[in-house]
Amino acid sequence: MAEGQEVQFIEVSESQAGQRIDNFLRTRLKGAPKSLIYRIVRKGEVRVNKKRIKADYRLQSGDLVRVPPLRLTPESAVKEASEGLRNLLAGSVLVESPDWLVINKPSGLAVHGGSGVKIGLIEALRQVREDLDFLELVHRLDRDTSGCLLLAKNRTALLSLNAAMKERRMEKKYLALVQGRWPARRDYVSARLDRYDAGNGERRVRVDDAGKVSRTRFAVRETLPRVTLIEAEPVTGRTHQIRVHAAHAGHALLGDDKYGTPEGERMARGLGLDRLFLHALTLTFPDPKSGRDVQARAPLEASLERALERARHAS
């Protein structure tokens, strides 16, 4: 990333209005870590209309933003997206409108940087889509999960889509391959979930009566010799919800290094599976302008298709 050598004065456009100043700066100062952005705001180096502001200040059309020059060391800078990652993301957009886009997120890529992750999908996609002044995640997927991920291209769309999600007008359906034979009549799991510190700063989730109400619908898609292909639809949106609910039901997801079993690990290796078999297959949401439902569908990646074929022919 080229370092900023001079003070910049940026006038806020109508499409950027309503955006928080910290998110605005993260888009403009590609490579700057969040900690640095918060520091320059706190110290008053960033000003809006010549006045100091806080990191949660929401920009208005016509605001004049003063951005100081930055000198980033290689250790502090957000990593530049590699050419391979740029090409992968550019070719992974499933459907797009002037207000939003849906991307088929690859497994193994965090949705955002932080906690030792130098670059996530949102940072890389902002580098790929330099034509966009605004790009924000509407929801998240676990790092190891692939499939449909929705992003907003302006503040109005973000607010509308967030409201749709809170009002449960957004439907997400996942495919998962689980250990054992899932009972056809077990179509619902309701178990409270609680987040806890598993050590080394890692956060995990467990079933706990003191946790938050969590519900997931399940449906059997295909019963195979030793595993079951299921469809999962989270009613609530808790961290790792599908993974923990499936494990709680006695059918852990294959390739799950957090909530799986030793037997499941052996089965995954036997199928040549080197990732979590959890894929956000479809996403349905109301378009912010028309209100009509949009459905996006993300095809399974080749490694998951191969694992399924091996499972079908396993003895």
Which tokens is 41 given?
């705001």
Residue 214 gets which letter from DSSP?
Answer: -
- Residue 150's nearest CA partner among 287, 278, 249 is 287
Active-site entry in 142, 209, 256, 257 = 142
> What are the two backbone dihedrals, phi and then psi, of residue 35, each rounded to the nearest 5 degrees?
-60, -40
Q: CA–CA separation, 186 vs 174, rounded Å?
A: 17
Active site residue 142: yes
Angle at 36 between CA 35 and CA 39, to 5 degrees: 90
Q: Are 221 and 229 in contact (CB under 8 A)?
A: yes
Return the SS3 of 107: coil
Distances (CA, A) of 34 to 46, 125, 188, 239, 259: 14, 17, 40, 23, 31
Catalytic residues: 142
